[in-house]
Structure 1
Amino acid sequence: MTVTDCPAVREDAPPALRLRLLGGFHLGEGDGDGQVGVSSSGQQLLALLGLHGPATRSVLAGTLWPDVTEERARACLRTAIWRLNAASSAVIDPRPGVLALSRRVRMDVQDFTVTAHHMLAASAEGTGAACASLMGMGELLPGWCQDWVVFERERLHQLRLHVLEALSARLVAREQYAPALEAALECTRIDPLRESAHRAVVTVHLAENNLAEAVRHFKAFRGLLRTELGIEPSEQFRTMVRRALPE
């Protein structure tokens, strides 16, 4: 059985499958919590198509089964497709030799990426709600160590950090200091050695005239850098705190 043996999917039909990769793999039907059973190879196929888009069968087989012969890899791919489409028609072949996710599938990574770029480009409106939506978001496919997963995990990690820092700055400009601090502190939780995240925290404290908090946080970060990396905070960060101190 091949993908083309599956019933045709109406291209104008609403999404009927939801693919979650943030925090772990989950394929569900509609908006409910029900889960569609998917084999390990099927999970990898869906994740790869979701993260990289349409790909040829040869590329997919070589990426997912790099340590076997090409013939064996293609056989594994055919088996994965058959098992996957026995449970759900999540994969289609839009043109000969190419596979893609069906338009029935809606993926959380795609939703996050679109929302994140909108946050970076948009005005300050709605930043509080945007900040809340990023708190506690899981990492991409935790426990998966394939090169293509690691690369995408780092890309999404950096995008999330940049969005949180931008949101914190906008919230400070609007004098919404509590959510601004939450966004900045979330950055430091995600990446404790990221200086720009700690500068965002200190910026909030200084905006609230909490000089003692700002200095305390700076010193804690300086101690962490010395312990972990044997380096000092940047001159930019040191100058920022020094200028805030009374003469």
Structure 2
Amino acid sequence: MDVRIGLLDGFTLVTDPMRPAGRDVVPRAVQRLVAHVCLTGRPGRAAVAGLLWGDVPEDQAQASLRSALWRLRRVAPGLLDTTGGALAVGRGVGVDVHDLAAWALRTRDPRTDLDDLDLPPADLLGDLLPGWHDDWVLVERERLRQLRLYALETLAARLAAAGRPGDAVAAAHVAVRGEPLRESAYRLLVRVYLAEGDVTAAVHAYRQFRTRLRDELGIDPTDRLTRLVAHLGEGQRVAS
């Protein structure tokens, strides 16, 4: 079955590459069911019903689950494995969050050859289900953001150590775009620029980060970052 579920940058269900089914085609209750199963692995039916329809009696929640599964079979039969007392993603169904997790695991594994690593594709850079405010979505959204950022920083550091500064800068910039107030990404970016002797770019990156921090949080970068540029030709003006 050639089906793909997208949860990053919004819910999508692709059963035909030419006709992705989005929010207008898949009922919201079905979207929530599919998303929850994708994010939790193989949850039990009772647990799914209790979480997604926790504001109604148990028998009504179970009926709502059966209804959602029936509607899902009409849209994409076989998308979920419903055998037994648990639910799971069907065999051969692709899920973008699973691909992101696999990329991050491979990237952070020191045994992975650097030639086998690259930046994640653009469709893995979005936030999880933007606009959804369920607690279980909020927790997973932040976990996936952190997973991606740590992997990007690891990739940038490995590329810099391998003498590939251009690729290292590209990875660091993706991390910075993902979280503009994350100092560790900017610190890595400044280090790569300095290692290549590009003082101007290093100072610019530092100042850009400092401005963002001051404008949005009213604080300055830590001494750990400031010390990287404070000794440069502009002296104290850089850190002031």
Common topology (TM > 0.5): yes
Q: CA deviation at 1:114?
A: 1.0
Q: CA deviation at 1:57?
A: 1.8
Q: Choose the corresponding residue for 1:89, options 67, 78, 81.
A: 78
Distance 2:230 2:80 in 1: 58
Compared CA separation, residues 136 and 85, structure 1 to 2 (3 A): closer
Q: Choose the corresponding residue for 2:172, options 184, 197, 201.
A: 184
Q: CA deviation at 1:70?
A: 2.0
Query: Counterpart in 1 of 2:11?
Result: 25
Distance 2:233 2:158 in 1: 24
Q: Give the counterpart letter for 1:89 in structure 2.
A: G
Q: CA deviation at 1:136?
A: 7.1
**Conserved? CA contact 1:134–1:160, under 8 Å:** no
TM-score, normalising length from structure 2?
0.86
Distance 2:103 2:120 in 1: 13
Q: CA deviation at 1:197?
A: 0.9
Distance 2:139 2:216 in 1: 24
Query: What secondary structure, in the 3-state scheme, does the structure 1 residue paired with 2:4 have?
Result: strand
Compared CA separation, residues 227 and 75, structure 1 to 2 (3 A): same
The alignment yields a C-alpha RMSD, in angstroms, of 2.2
Q: Choose the corresponding residue for 1:99, options 84, 87, 97.
A: 87
Q: Give the counterpart letter for 1:93 in structure 2.
A: T
Query: Counterpart in 1 of 2:151?
Result: 163
Matched, 1:63 2:75: no
Distance 1:136 1:214 in 2: 28
TM-score, normalising length from structure 1?
0.83
Q: Give the counterpart letter for 2:11 in structure 1.
A: F
**Conserved? CA contact 2:181–2:213, under 8 Å:** yes
Q: Choose the corresponding residue for 1:173, options 141, 158, 161.
A: 161
Query: What secondary structure, in the 3-state scheme, does the structure 2 residue paired with 1:19 have?
Result: strand
Distance 2:189 2:18 in 1: 37
Q: Give the counterpart letter for 2:78 in structure 1.
A: S
Q: CA deviation at 1:134?
A: 5.3
Distance 1:33 1:126 in 2: 30
Q: Give the counterpart letter for 1:91 in structure 2.
A: L
Structure 1: segments with no counterpart, 5+ residues: 1-14
Q: CA deviation at 1:165?
A: 1.1
Query: Counterpart in 2 of 1:10?
Result: none
Q: Choose the corresponding residue for 1:210, options 198, 205, 226.
A: 198
Compared CA separation, residues 86 and 133, structure 1 to 2 (3 A): closer
Query: Counterpart in 2 of 1:34?
Result: 19
Query: What secondary structure, in the 3-state scheme, does the structure 2 residue paired with 1:94 have?
Result: coil
